[in-house]
Structure 1
Amino acid sequence: MESTTVYNYRVTLERVRGRLGSIRLQELTEQHVEEWMRWALQGGRVRGGMAGTGLGVTSVDMSLARLKEALNRAVTRRLLTVNVASEVHIPLKARKAERKAKRVVPPWTAAEVGDFVAAMKGDRLNAPLLLSLMGLRPAEVCGLRWSDIDLDAATLSIANTRTLMGNRIVVEKDTKSLAGERMLPLPVLVHEALKTFRAMQAKERLAAGEGYEGGMYALVEELGAPLNVRQLRERAYKIMDANGLRRVRLYDARASCLTYLANNGVADHLLAVWAGHANVRTTKKWYVKPDVVDLLPAAEAWGGLARGSVTDRDR
């Protein structure tokens, strides 16, 4: 199991262990799990934010899912006869209440993406930020090596990622899944930006001399040291703030990209490959997020229905 997966499992299960860890496995009941869930939703936060307040539904859901997985393994190994958590679910009322109270920041519209592209023109990290707007995950952008980029053929291969564990430790690994390994053609704007970035790095290497740290990765600072996802995110926020742009997560640029491609006729099977997903259901469920402007063609199409009904009535 990958170190980042182990870390995430540990964090999500610690929320459960702190409350239920003293109960013997064979004595754990459905009531124990339900009581833990209610406590977690109402006052389970012990770090981050205000201690003693409720955890978010997503956090509780993840911990509950990990607990169910662990108990399923216990059943498989005959340590238990039944998974007492299998029928414990977060109430729909709690989900609706959080959705109503939580301020959801929608991804950028196409117009906002255009404003960001204009704002970052001339920035040293213009090329890596354009890769994010292409729909690459931040960890994929940070993991790109120049050997993965063919400037002559105008393509890039995604096979390596560099992410942060606990927002501190850099972890380098393969792509998130087999489908994540993919080759993409470079749009003209991104291709030109990468050529400029490559030439800039050659000048920086020459100027730094022996002080240059390498250059294997595409996303590096002036002395060749690779940048991580937090540094890329902070650079993007700095550009947004300096230009009065609505601040959104850099990761959500994936949703802006994939929504635009879906709205502009890219076939489902191609959309999934571009996103690095095994099937388009994942892409459409989590990343294609039409806004009211995207729905205008539906409103215009409805006009034909209305005209048809009037014609039929007049007859």
Structure 2
Amino acid sequence: MTVGSYELSTKKILWFFVIDLPVGDDGKRRQYKRRGFPSRTAAEKAESEARKAYGEASIGADGSVAAELNGWLSERELDIEETTQDNYRNLFRMYVYPHIGGRQLYDLDRRIVQDFYKTLLTEGGANKKPLSPTTVRTVHRVLMKAFRDLGIELGQVRQPRPAEREDQGRKGVWTPKESKQFLRFHRDSRLYAAWALPVVAGTRRGEIAGLRWSKVDLDNGIVHIHIQRTICGNKVLEKSPKGKSRRAIAIGPAMVRVLREHKARQDEEKAAAGLLYHDYGYVFPREDGKPYYPRYFTDRWEDACSAAGVPVIVLHDARHTSATAGADAGVPEHVMQKRLGHADARTTREVYAHVLPESERKAAELMDSALGEEAA
């Protein structure tokens, strides 16, 4: 066993320990390492606990970044959602392991990690295409979370600055005219109500896929979002939305009428199918009552955009359209935040800071009027 210290660029002294493990099946030397302890006493205590754990066959990592992060993911099964864990695993597999996965975690320092980020920005994507700063910042956020849990102190690691957005923070957003054109075109479609909800109420794909009639109060005009169907690896999970995503959304008479018509059509399908119908209570199931695979809505949405002759935006961007319409109409920010289920007000504020050109023109005309006759 070795206990030692090292100095950060900030002149702060931290301690580490190294345990030599039995030689592996491949004949190579194996070590178990931990760093980032504030004192020698703390390092020796952790080393003692690690030796005890190893005696109980609990230490199986070889000290590499890949092995340690895999171990961290295994530990986090206790307190993070399965879908989140799957996202972390894919992020490590795609971006971290190919570049620094074989390095010893103990050998990492701030410069190595920052050089790794630079590599991702220039050739970290498929076919060595550049990754966006947003993706690299996500890698940074998850890595730092894992390193903190693993006791790794690297000092102040710099991350890419946020990308400048030429679209003023907005992705695909329809104008009110385009929204009406899309919905009018699909008025007789079997999925018309499914298309109307994200535009009118800002629902997510998983919320549409998991919505059940027991949570739709048509008499009072309320849709309760309590379950979402999401994809995790190769399987579909149904779970309660996180935090403020679990919410009640008020809908107006027009949306209520659309849902009543949709239910009447579904009741006809149920009667026609008879015993072959599987009544699980979904609002938007297949003709036999079974739920759709969530990606079905994504694929059909893109086709629906093309058919209606409007700009093709992704299904999630219908939420941006709904939020922007709310901003243009003067709906208070905190009300729209609750309606959309945004956990962070900054997400809603981003939309409200970049309203559609029509509203900007109105503001310009209003302020221009302050010039009075002098402008003539």
TM-score range, shorter chain: 0.7 to 0.9
Q: Which moved more, 1:118-127 or 1:233-242?
A: 233-242
Output the amino acid matched with 1:138.
R
Which residue pairs with 1:58 in the alignment?
Answer: 134
| Residue 53 of structure 1: how far off its partner (Å) | 1.7
The 1-side partners of 2:260 and 2:166 are apart by 46
Correspondence 1:95-114 to 2 at 5 A: 95-96=163-164, 105-114=171-180
Tell me, yes or no, if the aligned pair for 1:144 and 1:217 is still in contact at 8 Å.
yes
Decide which of 76, 80, 83 is 2:154's aligned counterpart.
83
Q: Return the alpha-carbon distance in structure 2 between the equivalents of residues 21 and 118 of structure 1.
A: 52
> In 2, Cα distance between the equivalents of 1:24 and 1:251?
40
Instruction: Please say if residues 68 and 83 of structure 1, whose CA atoms lie closer than 8 Å, have aligned partners that are also in contact.
Output: no
* Mapped partners of 2:346, 2:135: distance in 1: 23
CA distance in 2, matches of 1:257, 1:288: 15
Instruction: Provide the residue aligned with 2:194 in structure 1.
Output: 128
Residue-by-residue CA offset, 1:242-264 (whole Å, 9 max, x unaligned): 22211011111111111111221
Q: Structure 1: how far apart are the matches of 2:366 and 2:262?
A: 45
**Distance change in 2, residues 1:210/1:289 (3 Å):** farther
Q: What displacement does 1:224 show? A: 0.8
The answer on whether the counterparts of 1:205 and 1:223 sit within 8 Å (CA) in structure 2 is yes
Cα deviation digits, residues 178-220 of structure 1 (max 9, x gap): x122212222221111111111111111111121122411111
Q: Which protein, 1 or 2, shows the higher relative CO under an 8 Å CA cutoff with sep ≥ 6?
A: 1
Q: Which amino acid aligns with 2:129?
A: T
Query: Is the counterpart of residue 26 in structure 1 residue 77 in structure 2?
Result: no
Contact in 1 for aligned 2:328/2:356 (Cα 8 Å): no
Q: Does residue 255 of the first structure (1) align with residue 320 of the second (2)?
A: yes
- Normalising by the residue count of structure 2, what TM-score does the alignment of the two structures yield? 0.72
Are 1:165 and 2:232 an aligned pair?
Answer: yes
Write out per-residue CA displacement over residues 211-245 of structure 1, whole angstroms, 9 at most, x where no aligned residue: 11224111111111112332112222222212221
Q: Give the partner amino acid of 1:187.
A: G
Unaligned runs of 5+ in 2: 1-79
Partner of 1:139: 206
Report what 1:9 is aligned to: 88
Q: What is the 5 A alignment of 1:1-315?
A: 1-14=80-93, 15-46=95-126, 51-75=127-151, 80=152, 82-84=153-155, 86-90=156-160, 95-96=163-164, 105-133=171-199, 134-166=201-233, 168-177=234-243, 179-278=244-343, 280-285=345-350, 289-307=354-372, 310=374
Aligned pairs, number: 292
Taking the aligned partners of 1:287 and 1:251, their CA distance within structure 2 comes to 17
1:169 & 1:188 partners in 2: Cα distance?
Answer: 37
Contact between 1:213 and 1:225, CA under 8 Å: does it hold in 2?
Answer: yes
CA distance in 2, matches of 1:142, 1:191: 18
| 5+ residue gaps, structure 1 | none
| Larger strand proportion of the pair | 2
Larger mean Cα displacement after TM superposition, 217-226 or 286-295: 286-295
8 Å contact from structure 2 (residues 226, 247) kept in 1: yes
Q: Give the share of equivalent positions with the same residue, in percent.
A: 28
Q: 1:278 to 1:40 in 2, by over 3 A?
A: closer
CA separation of 1:291 and 1:245: change in aligned 2, threshold 3 A: same
Cα 1:281/1:6, change in 2 over 3 Å? same
Letter in 2 for 1:276: G
Whichever residue aligns with residue 258 of structure 1, its letter is A
SS at match of 2:229: strand
Q: Residues 135 and 257 of structure 1 are in contact (CA less than 8 Å); yes or no, is this contact kept in structure 2? A: yes
Look up the SS of the partner of 1:295 in the other structure: helix
Would you say the 8 A contact 2:113–2:157 is kept in 1? no
Deviation at 1:56, TM superposition (A): 2.2
Q: Is contact 2:213-2:281 (8 Å) kept?
A: yes
- For residues 280 and 56 of structure 1, the distance between their equivalents in structure 2, rounded to whole angstroms, comes to 24
* TM-score (norm: length of structure 1): 0.85
Highest CA radius of gyration, 1 or 2?
Answer: 2
Whether the aligned pair in 1 keeps the contact of 2:227 and 2:241 (CA below 8 Å) is yes
| Amino acid aligned to 1:56 | S
Match for residue 53 of structure 2? Answer: none
Could you tell me which amino acid in structure 1 is paired with residue 293 of structure 2? N
Contact 2:109/2:154, CA 8 A, preserved across alignment: no
Question: Per-residue displacement from partner, 1:159-193 (whole Å, max 9, x unpaired)?
Answer: 11112235x5322111132x122212222221111
CA distance in 1, matches of 2:310, 2:354: 20
* Aligned partners of 1:255 and 1:288 also within 8 Å: no
